[in-house]
Amino acid sequence: MAHAGRITARQRAILTAIIESYIATGEPVGSGTVARSQNIEGFGFSPATIRNEMAGLADAGLLEQPHTSAGRMPTARAFRMYVEQLGGGVGRLSAQSRSEIDLNFVGVAGTQAVLERTSHVLAALSSGVGVAIAASAEGDFLEHVHFSRLAPARVLAVVVTRSGMVRDRVLALEKDLGLSELETAANFLNENFRGWSVERVRAELALRVEEERSEYQRLLDSVRELWAGAVPEVPVQTVYVDGVANLVGSQEDRERLREMLMAVEEKQRLVELLNAYVDARQESVRVVFGLEEHSPEMAGLVLIAAPARMGGETRGTVGVIGPKRMQYESTMNAVGYIARVFDRMMGAGE
């Protein structure tokens, strides 16, 4: 009997043939289909041998049999093994695929625009959901801040960081501030804190408010409130999602599909999911099965993701969420390529 970690070369060839047939058709795979597969041409397996090996793979927990069919389907463990097998060659995209991706980014400049386009490109390439998340402002450095008065006690705060990230937030203030007060607050931040990391600005403002007890205090209180709203202590991460409709064809149970789509569309859930599984320091593309452990509604979905870097610093995370029936190699290659050439894309429109 085969054990999941120790299968023979013959079993591996048969399992690969089953997985690739299942990815292509979505149908349970019978021994006849395996016998006609290119994966096992030249092995000279008889139908009886294939049936016996498929039974062994089922015993090892790598194949399951839907009760309505004589064919077999790969389990999550089988997909995991298949992806590990691909691992060594990942990172090689055809020249045509690379140029198609590059064309999509021509004229696109700035972190947010690049991430937004990334989600669209990955959705189109994978027939799954393309996801791109900007890194939080923590650890980034202030370039410029501007405040505009929209209405009484409502202000638009625009914070530009050294990485090129532009964050705008509408703030509801406790008291109204006039145009001159907003301009004074912005000037104070720009003159005193340009080039500071955003978390240091927060700490320094808190310190100065403690130390000052004068007319200067009123200005500092206003500045502190504006900055706290513009750059929240719990960083708000920008999330771009594209291709949710691609999942509709992958599930039969309408209620489960509805729950799954809601989970994928909920931005904060996606931030938590990617932060849980993608380490900013990792060098390669990560494929995660078993997303239901983090979010039960995502049962049956797979995450393929990698950190996107610019100038050696992580600027966000890019990835695809899709059904187990996905073109793993091309999707992994596309995610890896975009993550690695993010730096170059950031300059594409400049």
Query: pLDDT tens digits, residue range 285-326?
Result: 889 888 888 888 888 889 999 988 766 667 788 999 988 888
Stretch among 129-138, 139-148, 211-220 having the lowest mean pLDDT = 211-220
- The residues pairing with 288 across neighbouring beta strands, listed in sequence order, are 303
Q: What is the pLDDT of residue 172?
A: 87
Query: pLDDT tens digits, residue range 275-285?
Result: 778 876 777 88
Same domain, residue pair 242 and 328: yes
Within a domain: 82: no
Closest CA to 141 of 193, 179, 182: 193
Q: What is the pLDDT of residue 321?
A: 92
Same domain, residue pair 157 and 305: no
Q: What is the pTM of this model?
A: 0.68
Same domain, residue pair 16 and 33: yes
Stretch among 60-74, 113-127, 206-220, 296-310 having the lowest mean pLDDT = 206-220
Q: How many domains is the chain built from?
A: 3
**209 or 27, greater pLDDT:** 27
Point out the domain boundary residue: 52, 75, 98: 75
What's phi and psi for 69, nearest 5 deg?
-135, 155
Number of residues written out for the chain = 350
Same domain, residue pair 244 and 127: yes
Q: What is the pLDDT of residue 269?
A: 79
Same domain, residue pair 62 and 172: no
On whether the CB atoms of residues 129 and 247 are closer than 8 A, the answer is yes
Per-residue confidence band for 15, with pLDDT thresholds at 50, 70 and 90? very high
Within a domain: 315: yes
Same domain, residue pair 198 and 241: no
Q: In what order do the strands lie in the sheet with 142-151?
A: 142-151, 154-161, 166-172
Within a domain: 170: yes
Within a domain: 3: no
Tokens of 344: 């170059």
Same domain, residue pair 112 and 146: no
pLDDT of residue 339 exceeding 80 = yes
Average pLDDT over residues 70-79: 88
Q: CATH no. for residue 31?
A: 1.10.10.10
Q: What is the pLDDT of residue 279?
A: 77
Whose tokens are 């730096």? That residue is 343
Quote the domain boundaries for residue 128: 90-135+237-346
DSSP 3-state assignment of 92? coil
- Percent of the chain clearing pLDDT 70 (strictly above): 84
**89 or 109, greater pLDDT:** 109
Query: pLDDT tens digits, residue range 169-198?
Result: 888 888 898 999 999 999 999 999 998 887
- Helices (DSSP H) in 132-266: which residue ranges? 179-193, 198-211, 215-230, 254-265
Q: Distance between CA 154 and CA 133 in Å, rounded?
A: 27
Per-residue confidence band for 350, with pLDDT thresholds at 50, 70 and 90? very low
Tokens of 277: 């599984």
Average pLDDT in the chain: 81
Burial class (CB in 10 A: 0-12, 13-18, 19+), 185: buried
Same domain, residue pair 109 and 161: no
Q: CATH no. for residue 220?
A: 3.30.390
- Helices (DSSP H) in the chain: which residue ranges? 9-25, 31-35, 47-59, 76-86, 95-104, 111-126, 179-193, 198-211, 215-230, 254-265, 267-277, 328-340, 342-346
Q: CATH no. for residue 106?
A: 3.30.450.40
Q: What is the pLDDT of residue 223?
A: 84
Within a domain: 83: no
Q: What is the pLDDT of residue 305?
A: 92
pLDDT of residue 1 exceeding 50 = no
Same domain, residue pair 267 and 171: no
Closest CA to 138 of 319, 268, 313: 313
**142 or 275, greater pLDDT:** 142
Point out the domain boundary residue: 23, 42, 75: 75
Q: Distance between CA 71 and CA 236 in Å, rounded?
A: 47
Same domain, residue pair 241 and 338: yes
pLDDT of residue 215 exceeding 60 = no
On whether the CB atoms of residues 294 and 269 are closer than 8 A, the answer is no
Point out the domain boundary residue: 75, 105, 122: 75
Task: Estimate the crossing angle of helix 76-86 against helix 328-340, to 10 degrees.
Answer: 50
